Amino acid sequence: MNKRLIYFLLSILCLLIGVGLYYFFKKDVLVYESFIGLKKMNTRGYSFANWLPDLCWEISFLFMLSAIWGNWQLVPNSMKLLTLAVIMGTELVQMLGWLPGTGDIKDILVYFIGFSIFTLLFLINRPKQNL
Amino acid sequence: MKNWIKILLSFVVIIVYATMVSSSAKKKMVTVAKPLAFKVPSYEYAPPSQTSVGSNDLKILLLEPRFNDKFKYADYRTFNDFSKFMAGDLNESLTAKGYTVRGPFENYEGALYTDKIESDLLLNVQIDFDLNDQNIIWSGSEIQVSGKRKAAVFNTLYKLNGFFVLSGKLNLSLSEPITKEKIWVKSIPLKQRKINIVSTGTYKILRDYSAAFETEPSFSNPFVTTMQDYYKEILDIAWTNLDPNELTSLKKYTREIREKKKY
Provide the pLDDT for residue B233. Answer: 92
Say whether B170 sits in a helix, a strand or coil: strand
Cα separation, B150 vs B146, whole angstroms: 11
* Phi, psi dihedral angles at A33 (to 5 degrees): -65, -40
CB contact under 8 A, B13 and A79: no
Tell me: cis bond preceding B35? Omega within 30 of 0 counts.
no
* CA pair distance A72, A66, nearest whole angstrom: 4
CA angle in degrees (0–180, nearest 5) for A25-A28-A31? 110
- Determine the longest span between alpha carbons in chain A, in angstroms: 53
Chain B residues with CB-CB distance to A69 below 8 A: 6, 10
Burial class (CB in 10 A: 0-12, 13-18, 19+), B157: middle
Report pLDDT for A6: 92
Closest to A59 (Cα-Cα) out of A124, A122, A114, A2: A114
Dmax (CA) of chain B = 124
- Would you call B132 exposed, middle or buried from its count of C-beta atoms within 10 A (0-12, 13-18, 19+)? middle
Strands B153-175 and B121-132: antiparallel
Distance, CA of B259 to chain centre: 42
Beta bridge partners of residue A77, listed in sequence order: none
Q: Is B9's CB within 8 Å of A30's CB?
A: no
DSSP, res A58: H
Q: What is the DSSP string of A84-115?
A: HHHHHHHHHHHHHTSSSS---HHHHHHHHHHH
Q: Cα B97 to chain center, whole Å?
A: 27
Cβ <8 Å between A34 and B27? yes
* A86 part of contact set with chain B, CB < 8 Å: yes
**Using an 8 Å Cβ cutoff, are B103 and B111 in contact?**
yes
Q: Which residue of A has its CA nearest to B29?
A: A29
Q: Are B187 and B170 in contact (CB under 8 A)?
A: yes
pLDDT of residue B32: 66
User: Nearest C-alpha of chain A: how many angstroms from B12?
Assistant: 10
User: Which of B6, B18, B25 comes nearest A100 by C-beta?
Assistant: B25
Cα–Cα distance, B219 to B38 (Å, whole number): 9
Contact B257, B181 (CB under 8 A): yes
From B83's Cα to the closest Cα of chain A, the distance in A is 50
Q: How far is A78 from chain B (nearest CA, A)?
A: 11
pLDDT of residue B189: 92
> Which of B2, B5, B13, B15 would best serve as a mutation to test chain A binding (most A beta carbons within 10 A)?
B13
A110: alpha, beta or left? (left if phi > 0; alpha if psi -120 to 50): alpha
pTM check: above 0.90: no
* pLDDT score at A126: 62
Q: 3-state DSSP call for residue A127?
A: coil
* Every domain of chain B and the residues it spans: 52-216+232-260
The angle that helices A52-69 and A105-124 make with each other, rounded to 10 degrees, is 40
Residue of chain A nearest B2, judged by CA positions = A69
- Residues of chain A neighbouring B12 (CB-CB closer than 8 A): none
User: For position A131, what pLDDT does the model report?
Assistant: 47
Q: Are A74 and A4 in contact (CB under 8 A)?
A: no
Ranges of residues in chain B with a pLDDT under 70 are 1, 27-33, 54, 263
For residue B84, report the phi and psi dihedrals to the nearest 5 degrees: -65, -50
Mean pLDDT for each consecutive 10-residue tract of chain A (131 residues)? 87 92 87 81 82 89 91 87 86 78 79 89 67 47
DSSP code of B134? T
User: Across-strand partners of B125?
Assistant: B172
Q: What one-character DSSP code corresponds to residue B106? A: S
Q: How many CB atoms lie within 10 A of CB B212?
A: 16
Radius of gyration of chain B (CA): 31
Q: Which among A64, A100, A102 has the least Cβ separation from residue B13?
A: A64
**Residue in B159, B107, B169, B165 with CA at minimum distance from that of residue B138:** B159
Q: How many Å lie between the alpha carbon of B31 and the closest alpha carbon of chain A? A: 15
Instruction: Characterize the bridge pairing of strands B100-105 and B66-67.
Output: unpaired
The span from the CA of B192 to the CA of B166, in Å, is: 6
CATH class in words for B52-216+232-260: alpha beta
By C-alpha distance, which of B191, B43, A88 is closest to A96?
Answer: A88
